[in-house]
Amino acid sequence: MSRPGEAEDPAFARQATVQVDNASVWFGQKVALSELSCSFGGGVTGLLGPNGAGKTTLMRAITGLVPVNQGSVRVEGRNPRQDRSVHTRVALVPEDEAVPTGLSARQFVAYVADLHGIEDRGAPERALAQVSMLDVADRRVDGFSKGMRQRVKVAAALVTEPAVLVLDEPLNGADPVQRAALIELFRRLGSEGRTVIVSSHVLNEVERLADRIIVVIHGRLAAAGGQRAIRDAMNDRPRHVLVRTEDSRRLAAGLVGLGSVSGVRLEGHDVVVSTSRAAELALALPGLARSLSVRLEEVRPLDDSLESLFRELVR
Amino acid sequence: MTAATSRSTQPSRWTGRRLQAVVSYTLRSCIGRKRWLGCLLPCAGALLFGLLAHAIDEPGGEAFAAVAANGIFALVVPIVSLVIGDAVLGAEIRSGVFHFTWLSPTPFGLIVLGRWLGGCITALLTVVPACALAALVAGEPASAAAAAAGAAAGVTAYIAVFIAIGCVARRAAVWSLAFVFLVERLLGTALSGIAQWSPMWEARAVFLDLAPGVPDSLIRRGIPVGGGAMVRLALITVLALLVARRRLAHLALSGAAD
């Protein structure tokens, strides 16, 4: 259930299965999560943030691997640190490459199934089939590539039939075909009503996966909402574009007159243009160059990385 | 997934199957090739100690008792136990693989018990026969059963202790070595109060009580012997496993930073 009065807050799901309430986690002096509140419900939710943002810590707190020092985390109303029965409902695919040594993929998935008391002997086969690993099921997991390890870990999670599936950078190391198949699988799991939480630091990847996105930066909630809201936040932010030309002074003078330009800086043959309307600038720049008889040698955004978006979002 | 997966609802069957899964996993995955080598090398050392008994100018039974008490039980048994005890849990926690087991509804007590049983089976296949063989190599077949019994009793307690250390300390191997050489060897030699709770001294006491022709000089006063030593080792085992179980419940598996 979403929290009273917060039904419209994009950080909170309407039918929440996972509730994070004012959660803080720290390791010694390092604060990994800081008073973070959000919730997750059925469907796929993307957890977006740069490296070191606290995504993994949040996922580990949701699954109970790390305790929250302050606040609370509840999965279907239960504390995952104290109630072992929660683990029949939640599964984690960790980002770490570490996998058990000396076991085949089939043995590994069967081991997880046995730990969960799964009686159906065919469950491991079906889980491996879902990630297209049946043909290599008898190969040792520790000999797999990173992408194959991720897939077998997904199979180990799926064999438990979790209501809440937490996936930490599950597409890392996967080739494009595997990526597409995994994305389709996660979307299908979400459409079945399961709570699927997927972390990534790649916006495009999250957009393909999730309908709802939660952005975490420096352990705090930076933004939440649908893909469009997050994209708009990115498009509206100030950007810096580098324009290289032989006659930089002339071009700079012309750029100052454009309404889409908020600042111009000269750096030798380069002009660094500040704009909050990048699309408009892109349309106006060729015409301006033609009118000034200036040849453009290079035009490239200086800060089009996700990290720059994150910086802007937390400003 | 399309078909709903059923979970076992019968508690005894459920517990038995999970325990079997943990033990089987421990034997297959935790004790890898390197760990087997790490077990077998000290076992070869036990055989060398058996040969060494021939070089001691004392009656056969006394010579083997001396090398077993001061070599096999003081070095081989703790080192093999350390290799196994660290492998079955501590090494997995450090490598980040343990959360596949932790993130299950299997009770912590069952996990600890299964890992300990897996370790004990490995020890029973390696160091226990090696200790009996050492007696045969020394030409003292009458001491073989005593050596095997002492080793079996010692490794069961040691493995439990090293599992507990693996759950408590990040540098488990260092702390385990410190336990063996500083606490047991150094302090245990001087203080019988510590020796009474030392797997090394108690396993040695089990062996010396059962072996024939043991000189009085090897028998240490002030610590339980025979059945008393076995009870003490059982207590150490139970206490260590309880510590490990409790520690697992409070473990923070933070893994690599994101």
Other Cβ atoms within 10 Å of A28 Cβ, number: 5
Nearest CB to A156; choose among B22, B32, B100 = B100
Largest CA distance in chain B: 75
Closest chain B C-alpha to A182 CA, distance in angstroms: 13
**pLDDT value at position B60?**
67
Nearest CB to A102; choose among B1, B3, B32 = B32
Helix (H, G, I), strand (E, B) or coil at B200: helix
Say yes or no for a CB contact (<8 Å) between A118 and B6: yes
Q: Quick check: A182 and A149 in contact, CB under 8 A?
A: no
pTM metric for this prediction: 0.83
Q: List the single best residue of B19, B24, B102, B104 to mutate versus A (max A Cβ within 10 A).
A: B104
CB proximity under 8 Å: A 196-215 to B: 199
Residues with Cβ within 8 Å of residue B90, at least 6 apart in sequence? B162, B163, B165, B166, B167, B169, B172, B173
CA distance A139 to A152: 11
Query: Number of C-alpha atoms within 13 angstroms, CB side, residue A64?
Result: 27
Q: Quick check: A90 and A78 in contact, CB under 8 A?
A: no
**pLDDT value at position A240?**
81
**Looking at per-residue confidence, does B91 or B222 come out higher?**
B91
Pairing of strands A195-200, A239-245: unpaired
Specify the DSSP class assigned to residue B169: -
Share of chain A above pLDDT 90, in %: 56
Specify the DSSP class assigned to residue B222: T
Residue B7 has which token pair? 């979970």
Q: What is the mean pLDDT of residues A184-194?
A: 95
**A5 has a pLDDT exceeding 80:** no
Residues with Cβ within 8 Å of residue B145, at least 6 apart in sequence? B132, B210
One-letter amino acid for residue B228 of the chain: G
pLDDT in tens, A7-30: 478 889 988 999 999 999 999 889
**B244 has a pLDDT exceeding 60:** yes
Residue B43 has which token pair? 């076992």
Q: Quick check: B163 and B88 in contact, CB under 8 A?
A: yes
**A1 has a pLDDT exceeding 50:** no
CB proximity under 8 Å: A 19-38 to B: 27, 32
B98: closest chain A residue by CA:
A100
**A235 has a pLDDT exceeding 80:** no
Closest chain B C-alpha to A119 CA, distance in angstroms: 5
CA distance A74 to B248: 20
**A38 has a pLDDT exceeding 90:** yes
| A47 at B interface, C-beta within 8 A | no
| A258 at B interface, C-beta within 8 A | no
Q: What is the mean pLDDT of residues B99-114?
A: 95
pLDDT in tens, A252-308: 999 998 888 888 999 888 999 988 777 788 888 989 999 999 988 888 877 655 555
CA distance B145 to B135: 9
Q: List the single best residue of A90, A116, A216, A218 to mutate versus B (max B Cβ within 10 A).
A: A116
Nearest CB to B252; choose among A67, A103, A126 = A67
Triad B184, B188, B193: Cα angle to 5°: 125
Dihedral sign, Cα of residue B121, residue B127, residue B130, residue B134: negative
Question: Sheet of A16-27: strands edge to edge?
Answer: A30-41, A16-27, A70-75
CB proximity under 8 Å: A 214-253 to B: none
CB proximity under 8 Å: A 51-80 to B: 51-57, 60, 63-67
The structure tokens 């290599």 sit at A136
One-letter amino acid for residue B223 of the chain: I
**Looking at per-residue confidence, does B202 or B254 come out higher?**
B202
Specify the DSSP class assigned to residue B223: S
